[in-house]
A and B are shown apart, each in its own frame.
Chain A
């Protein structure tokens, strides 16, 4: 070799190294797999001075997942059409795991020829892209510019680039898996968040309407539904009626407001206690025609279940086709259970509230009967009697009329004191003494009865809020009883205390009652006083005798709250 040749070779090497170096830099900067492969293809072509270069990465189904060319113009690529399928030479490279160099492609027995419009190719260098000794793709170059074919040096360089490509491809695949996982994680997070929101709504509200409203919105968001409906069987009659409808396509998706168990999609979901999902609505027989015509693609029925009983069904309709994976199925099933429980709780709560109202009404009815209607009825009878005996016995008639007037007065008193009792009352002040004074003031005004209030020796001070409330309410009820039943003209209210007890007494000079019948005669007022006293840790006693008035005495333990810093 002449020195000039060595220098030439050295210069050529330097050039190649520089090119390689430049390529490496570009690769590092490039983020997308496509970009990396393109750089490698272009770089390889430049490095070994080939006319054409290409990189192919087969996918799991055998076809090329990626195919990148260099040196082929867009027009030529379009003319060729599909990328090579890797049967002949290319397949041999990948399977063999070794490079192939040829001076003339066509003459090699492994070649399968070229498709139409393919540019003429003679010399060939193909190098496998290896990852952990596994062939994951190939780089091939054709038509070395100068000379008959590609040399050892060319092969070395391309193998180096192939190594880069391997790393890039594996990285890209890893990243893709990560992205998928991340996407899955995001999905799961979103679903968990929605389940969480539903649980929150369920936990903070007892009103079935509120629960249904909020959860339907969220589930519609999850399913990406345009329409959502909820049907409930509130009476337990196996008839499901619509209670809520949401969505942009407002007219009832299913076209009906009621379903029986087993009828159509909703009824079927209820009967089977299982999700019903349909993504081919046009051929779904249980769906009215207009639903499919409206362009809906998917429908999901979720039965709302509690303790193995189906309380209702939620129906969701979406325009676009949706896939219901097993995981999503589980999710929606969970939603159905949660909502079922929530609705049942809500309905029970509503029932118990209604019962409470009914009980109250019953009590009011009884109270009204006990006093007022009877009194009016008696007066009516007396007047009738009076008018009948007017001619025969005018004195008796006059007596009866006087009695009637008296009776009516009594009725007016009854009604007034009844109103007094019904007024919802809360101690308006923080101060028991002021509260008692107010009660007494109002009692005096309403009943025109004399009332004295004695609070001894700071008995009303330093009490716990609970004690104050108890004493206030006991006084209120005792006074209400006096107003309703006693016909008293004088009432004394005493509040006193010692180290152990705080004692409240309400003493009236009314007509009293026999203690045998005491519970029945005083209706609820009495038991309430006893209950309150007991709840406060104390006791209540009531002494009464016919014609001798009544004393209500309540004692509760003295729990003193020490006064704060002055």
Chain B
């Protein structure tokens, strides 16, 4: 690909269109290509469905995938290369922080946003240490959430 030759990068890294736009080296005219690509990891079925729907209808956000089960989620994330991964760390299998760590360490460094119901300063610190760049509480007005997501990837 053309721009792979222009821009220096590590061998494994593949830039998402957004990342390239970020670097300022490439300018896109098609807005869809600049939409934030988001992957959702949430174990609670009803919440995952509702969140997924909400994300799909949000302008500037493209939902590239959603999963509840841990293994499946990581597999899909690796395949779909999201810019932002939304993670609910409270899980029945207790793997919340582990997932954050794994995703944050992926080669293209997607931004991990923890979206959770449980406010605890201990959890907040732990999540940040595991690599999350933000820790948001689930609240009923999700406009703010959508804006935060977009701002992050900007």
Contacts and interface: CB of A to CB of B under 8 A. Distances in A.
B149 to A, nearest CB: 14
A381 B92 contact: no
A375 interface: yes
Interface stretch (B16-24, B26-34, B48-56): B48-56
Contact of B53 (A365, A370, A381): A381
B57 A369 contact: no
Pairs A-B, 5 closest by C-beta atoms? A520-B92, A381-B50, A380-B140, A378-B46, A378-B50
A402 interface: no
B44 interface: yes
B55 to A, nearest CB: 9
Contacts of B54: 381, 384-385
A400 B46 CA distance: 12
A109 B41 CA distance: 124
A73 B120 CA distance: 96
A380 B141 CA distance: 8
B78 interface: no
Contact of B51 (A375, A381, A388, A521): A381
A84 interface: no
Interface in B77-135: 90, 92-94, 117-118
B118 A365 contact: yes
B117 A377 contact: yes
Contact of A385 (B47, B50, B90, B141): B50
Contacts of B49: 378
A374 B53 contact: no
A520 B47 contact: no
B53 to A, nearest CB: 5
Interface string B55-83: 00100000000000000000000000000
Most buried by B among A369, A381, A517: A381
A374 B46 contact: yes
B121 to A, nearest CB: 14
Most buried by A among B46, B54, B138, B140: B46
Contact of A407 (B46, B94, B118, B141): B46
A521 to B, nearest CB: 6
Given A378-B50, A382-B50, A369 B118 contact: yes
A389 interface: yes
Contacts of B118: 365-366, 369
B104 to A, nearest CB: 23
Given A369-B118, A381-B142, A520-B92, A375 B57 contact: no
A407 B138 CA distance: 17
Contacts of A379: 50
Given A382-B50, A385-B53, 6 more contacts: A374-B47, A375-B46, A377-B138, A378-B49, A388-B57, A520-B92
9 contacts: A369-B118, A373-B138, A379-B50, A380-B142, A381-B51, A388-B57, A400-B53, A520-B94, A521-B92
A369 B53 contact: no
A373 B93 CA distance: 19
A382 B44 contact: no
A137 to B, nearest CB: 86
Nearest to A396: B53
Contacts of B51: 378, 381
Nearest to A389: B57
B47 A381 contact: yes
Most buried by B among A374, A376, A407, A521: A374
A76 B85 CA distance: 116
Given A373-B138, A520-B93, A385 B46 contact: no
Given A365-B118, A373-B117, A378 B92 contact: no
Interface in A396-423: 400, 407
Contact of A517 (B46, B53, B92, B117): B92
Nearest to B138: A377
B142 A374 contact: no
Most buried by B among A366, A377, A388: A377
B57 to A, nearest CB: 6
B136 to A, nearest CB: 12
Contacts of A378: 44, 46-47, 49-51
A377 B47 contact: yes
Contacts of A376: 140
Contact of B117 (A369, A382, A520, A521): A369
Contacts of A385: 50, 53-54, 57
B140 A377 contact: yes
B102 to A, nearest CB: 20
B43 to A, nearest CB: 9
Contacts of B50: 377-379, 381-382, 385
Contacts of B117: 369, 373-374, 377
A94 B142 CA distance: 113
Contacts of A370: 92
A388 B141 CA distance: 13
A385 B93 CA distance: 29
A386 B81 CA distance: 29
Interface in A496-534: 517, 520-521
A370 B93 CA distance: 12
Nearest to B58: A388
A382 B57 CA distance: 11
Contacts of A365: 118
Contacts of B47: 374, 377-378, 381
A374 B44 contact: yes
Nearest to B115: A377
Contacts of A407: 46
A183 B108 CA distance: 89
Nearest to A380: B140
B97 to A, nearest CB: 15
Contacts of A373: 117, 138
A127 to B, nearest CB: 96
